[in-house]
Amino acid sequence: MSKHIAILPGDGIGPEIIAQAVRVLDKLIAEGLDADYQYAPLGGAAYDEYGHPYPEFTQNICRQVDAILLGAVGGPQYDKLERPLRPERGLLAIRKDLNLFGNLRPAILYPELANASTLKPEVVSGLNILIVRELTGDIYFGEPRGIHTLPNGEREGINTMRYSESEIRRIGKIAFEAAQKRNKKLCSVDKANVLETTELWREIITDISRDYPDVSVTHMYVDNAAMQLVKAPKQFDVIVTGNIFGDILSDQASMLSGSIGMLPSASLNEIGKGMYEPSHGSAPDIAGQNLANPLATILSLAMLLRYSLYNEHAAQRIEQAVGKVLAQGLRTSDIFEEGCQRVSCSQMGDAVLAAL
Amino acid sequence: MSKHIAILPGDGIGPEIIAQAVRVLDKLIAEGLDADYQYAPLGGAAYDEYGHPYPEFTQNICRQVDAILLGAVGGPQYDKLERPLRPERGLLAIRKDLNLFGNLRPAILYPELANASTLKPEVVSGLNILIVRELTGDIYFGEPRGIHTLPNGEREGINTMRYSESEIRRIGKIAFEAAQKRNKKLCSVDKANVLETTELWREIITDISRDYPDVSVTHMYVDNAAMQLVKAPKQFDVIVTGNIFGDILSDQASMLSGSIGMLPSASLNEIGKGMYEPSHGSAPDIAGQNLANPLATILSLAMLLRYSLYNEHAAQRIEQAVGKVLAQGLRTSDIFEEGCQRVSCSQMGDAVLAAL
Ligand SMILES: CC(C)[C@H](C(=O)O)[C@@H](O)C(=O)O
Ligand SMILES: CC(C)[C@H](C(=O)O)[C@@H](O)C(=O)O
């Protein structure tokens, strides 16, 4: 049965990096991959066309497909819009609408790019962490929220952190299963010494751990986790945490490698439907200049093939092709270093296609 | 008028490191500093003696003094207590009780200890950041909070992030004033693209900034701040943020220097009364072995003299003495490196006294 993919280029460098990933997808389809795709706007592009960052047009397509490939959203021209219409809200809305609660964000140091890290080589060489971040709960979506006026006349802002047992259980399951396929070490991050929500989190993770006796589980406070990621990041295999802590720690972790332009991510629902996107943002400052690094998006396509199309073979082909172009010394500006060959976004796409 | 100081040794290495700071204080008093001090327990030590981590005995003393010097609280022997009785809750309680909303946490790389950082020398040399963290509001104290049962029978955890205009204003003021005394750059960290509470935060900080035209202010999302602290930490001068983001970022920042055993902190109220403590924890694993590094505590005493006793001269004397012992090559185990002389906690105290 043919698989359906939605392609959401988004804003900024989104269209450029997506174009290179689509070339790879086209090639796989030409060679027999049973899939088709259609485009839809998200974020600022969707606001421009439909007046909303996640319009019905895009909803209808995204609800029906098996997987979504997203570029990136956001740009300074949208900063003046009221917040509910801003690009990021489109991203939050699609995550919630499609129930994409399981966010997988690898932080990997590619041996060829070891110098790009600001950390000492011995601290990060071989780094390979998977952050599993809950993506549809927590203080991102909890009610009540907003800004109101207090009896004394001043205003107060409120947001609510919330997690139910079942929300914790389902993300915990994803994390334990991921750990089973890796080095069988899971670190659950919370702030159970202060926040009751994460006291429950710790209790449930501990409870689930009985079903995964082969995985060794530890618990760490979020402040300590932020320290340990600087001090000794290689101690981690899989980290599981809530939405807001995961937002912070996954960005911190991805920067450890110095090449966030290389890192893909997946956001999954309970039945393996997923949205795949690079970990980096829409980089408006270099948009339209054919300078962006398309590799994180191409690697996101590999994740899409693995997790939503169950095509491990095609996923590995892409990952090997990316390895090859790095070994050839090709580098976009963000990962360029002395002695390598500087290439544009589309030249990097050419090279991956040739290496496939 | 004689100044009164409360000394709270706390748990773990607390008593050892406090003992060295008290030797310094004794010397200053012997030389004419008009101050006296008395001891009180906090945390586990207070639970052991009074059944509560912040007992009335300690409250009565701490409410009356001009300043408090704290070692550290916490230890594994208290992990089985119900949460409200655990050592950390004593710390939260004293902060709230004394209205110590302004937490100043420097992250400094001492030139002599440059190698201790896991970051490359060029990335961190000369690092000198001040994190100003709000300490008595936010999700740490917001109501409603707790764990309750939902209509469907499962449990849910809740915590509430809250900030009022006046709470933001008073911490903002501290941060702008600190920036004025430094390099006049303030970065306010929030998550205004998602959380309304921090939308208000950003608005108020922007509003206050008009009163400090000499300070250049920027705003950064917390996930980006966690990345930038890894990528280019020297871009920061003063960072101001809320309680939970500050908890995470200040620990991350302090670890950039690789020598958290060197970093003091201050927690101030509106009238300059403060609690001073090292940024590190109670290190139960090395407690009682005379191995701990007392310098962060001794430097906390320097902050106490500066901010609560208005004795800049004595503060600088201590800071210079600490610089001298580092230059002499004396190192406790946590900061030891080849070619230096390894000393115990009390030997480090001896050296500081001699250098004074
Ligand atoms: C753009 C923003 C709403 C989003 C988030 O906070 O989740 C982003 O930072 C991310 O991590 O995908
Ligand atoms: C012990 C804990 C409650 C405390 C906090 O989270 O504030 C600590 O991490 C700190 O930063 O002082």
Assigned domain for B156 exists: no
Mean pLDDT of B89-105: 98
CA angle A80, A83, A85 (to 5 degrees): 90
Indicate if A107 and A199 belong to the same structural domain. Answer: yes
Instruction: Provide, rounded to the nearest whole percent, the portion of chain B with pLDDT above 70.
Output: 100
Ligand-binding annotation for A88, yes or no, is yes
Q: Which of A44, A36, A35 is nearest to A9 (CA)?
A: A44
- Binding-site positions of B for substrate read 95, 105, 133, 223
The CA distance from B143 to B160, in Å, is 6
| Closest residue to atom 2 of ligand 2, CA basis | B88
Task: Name residues whose C-beta falls within 8 Å of residue A122's C-beta, 6 or more positions apart in sequence.
Answer: none
User: Which among A162, A226, A230 has the least Cβ separation from residue B157?
Assistant: A162
Q: What is the pLDDT of residue B266?
A: 98
| pLDDT tens figures, B110-126 | 989 988 999 999 999 99
Contact A226, A249 (CB under 8 A): yes
Both A258 and A188 in one domain: the answer is yes
Give residue A330's pLDDT.
Answer: 97
Q: What is the mean pLDDT of residues A41-51?
A: 98
The whole-number pLDDT of residue A114 equals 87
Place of tokens 């002695």: A339
CB-defined site of ligand 1, < 6 Å: A 88, 91-92, 247; B 193-194, 223
Confirm whether A66 is a catalytic residue: no
| pLDDT score, position B258 | 87
Six-digit token pair at B150? Answer: 């939902």
Contact residues on chain B for A229, CB-CB shorter than 8 A: 252
Per-residue pLDDT, A192: 95
Q: With 90 as the cut, is the pLDDT of residue A242 above it?
A: yes
Q: What pLDDT shows up at residue B272?
A: 87
Shared domain for B256 and B320, answered yes or no, is no
CA of A247 relative to ligand 1 center, distance in Å: 7
Write the DSSP symbol of residue B356.
Answer: -
pLDDT in tens, B22-66: 999 999 999 999 999 999 999 999 999 999 999 999 999 999 999
Which is nearest to A239 in space by CA: A100, A141, A107?
A107
Do the chains contact at B251 and A227, CB–CB below 8 Å?
A: yes
Q: Which residue of chain A comes nearest to B158, CA vs CA? A: A162
pLDDT at A225 over 90: yes
**SS3 state at A195:** coil
Determine contact, residues A157/B197, Cβ cutoff 8 Å: yes
- The type of residue at B301 is L
Calculate the alpha carbon distances from A132 to A104, A235, A260 in Å: 5, 16, 17
Q: Is the dihedral of CA B315, B318, B324, B327 positive or negative?
A: negative
Q: What is the pLDDT of residues A98-153, one digit of tens each?
A: 999 999 999 999 989 988 999 999 999 999 999 999 999 999 999 999 999 999 99
Residues B105, B131 contacting (CB under 8 angstroms): yes
Rounded to the nearest integer, the mean pLDDT of chain A is 97
Contact A83, A89 (CB under 8 A): yes
pLDDT of residue B1: 78
Cα–Cα distance between B214 and B220 in angstroms, integer? 20
Question: % helix / strand / coil in chain A, to the nearest 5?
Answer: 45, 20, 30
Would you tell me how many other CB atoms lie within 10 Å of the CB of residue B77?
Answer: 13
Q: What's the CA-to-centroid distance between B84 and ligand 2, angstroms? A: 15
Question: Is B139 among the domain residues?
Answer: no
Q: Which of A268, A302, A326 is the last residue of a domain?
A: A268
Query: How many Cα atoms within 13 Å fall on the side-chain side of residue B11?
Result: 25
Q: Range of B242's domain? A: 104-133+169-268
Question: Mean pLDDT across chain B, nearest whole number?
Answer: 97
Q: Does B118 contact A119 at a Cβ distance shorter than 8 Å?
A: yes
What span, in angstroms and rounded, lies between the C-alpha atoms of B227 and B169? 27
Rounded to whole angstroms, the Cα distance separating A190 from A249 reads 11
**pLDDT for position A259:** 85
Q: Are residues A8 and A119 in the same domain?
A: no
- Structure tokens of A256? 């450890």
Same-domain pairing of B248 and B118: yes
Based on the domain organization, do B240 and B177 belong to the same domain?
yes
Q: Measured between alpha carbons, how far is B107 from B254 in angstroms, rounded to an integer?
A: 5
For residue A300, the CA-to-ligand 1 centroid distance in Å is 17
CA dihedral angle for residue A84, residue A89, residue A95, residue A98, rounded to 10 degrees: 40
Residue B4 forms part of a structural domain: yes
- The 10s digit of each residue's pLDDT in B250-307 is 999 999 998 889 999 999 999 989 999 999 999 999 999 999 999 999 999 999 999 9
Q: Which residues pair with A259 in a beta bridge?
A: none
Point out the least confidently predicted range of B142-156, B175-189, B250-264.
Answer: B250-264
Domain presence at residue B185: yes
Q: Which amino acid is at A69?
A: L
The yes-or-no verdict on residue B204 having pLDDT over 90 is yes
Query: Residue B26 has which token pair?
Result: 């004794």
Beta bridge partners of A342: A331
- A1 pLDDT more than 90: no
Contacts of B157 in chain A (CB under 8 A): 161-164, 195-201
Same domain, B112 and B61: no
**Token representation of residue A74:** 């956001």
| pLDDT, greater one: A214 or A1 | A214
* Residues B223, B202 share a domain: yes
* Domain-embedded: residue B230: yes
Q: Which of B150, B158, B201, B203 to mutate to test the interface with A (most CBs of A within 10 A)?
A: B158
Residue in A165, A166, A255 nearest the CB of B230: A255
What is the C-alpha to C-alpha distance for residues B341 and A281, in angstroms, rounded to an integer?
48
Taking the CA of A275 as reference, the closest ligand is 1
Mention every residue, 6+ apart, whose C-beta is less than 8 A from residue B205.
B168, B172, B188, B217, B219, B240
Residue A287's CATH number: 3.40.718.10
Contact B247 A196 (CB under 8 A): no
What's the distance, CA A221 to chain centroid? 23
The pair of three-digit structure tokens given for residue A90, joined into one six-digit string: 């489109």
Q: Could you tell me if B116 and B94 lie in one domain?
A: no
Q: What is the pLDDT of residue B182?
A: 96
Whether B241 contacts B206, CB under 8 Å: no
Q: Sign (positive/negative) of CA torsion B190, B193, B195, B201?
A: positive
**Same domain membership, residue B354 and residue B289:** yes
CB atoms within 10 A of CB B123: 19
Residue B350 lies in a domain: yes
> What gap in Å lies between CA A348 and CA A343, rounded to an integer?
6
**B221 Cα: distance to centroid of ligand 1 (angstroms):** 10
Q: How confident is the model at residue B21 (pLDDT cuts 50, 70, 90)?
A: very high
Answer yes or no: do A50 and A107 share one domain: no
Could you say which of B157, B200, B224 has the minimum Cβ distance to residue A163? B157
pLDDT above 90 covers what percent of chain A? 96
Q: Which residues of B touch A200 (CB under 8 A)?
A: 147, 155-157
Q: Report the C-alpha gap between A27 and A10 in whole angstroms.
A: 22
- Cα separation, B111 vs B263, whole angstroms: 14
Domain termination residue (choose one: A249, A268, A287): A268
Return the number of CB contacts < 8 Å for A and B. Answer: 179
Rounded to whole angstroms, how far apart are CA atoms B338 and B336?
7
Q: Do A160 and B160 touch (CB under 8 A)?
A: yes
As for how many domains chain A has, the answer is 2
Q: Are residues B79 and B112 in the same domain?
A: no
Q: What is the pLDDT of residue B123?
A: 96
Q: Which of A58-62, A112-116, A155-159, B186-190 has the weakest average pLDDT?
A: A112-116
Q: Is A286 annotated as a binding residue?
A: yes
The yes-or-no verdict on residue B247 having pLDDT over 90 is: yes
Single out the residue in A268, A296, A318 at which a domain terminates.
Answer: A268
Residues of B with CB below 8 A from A170's CB? none
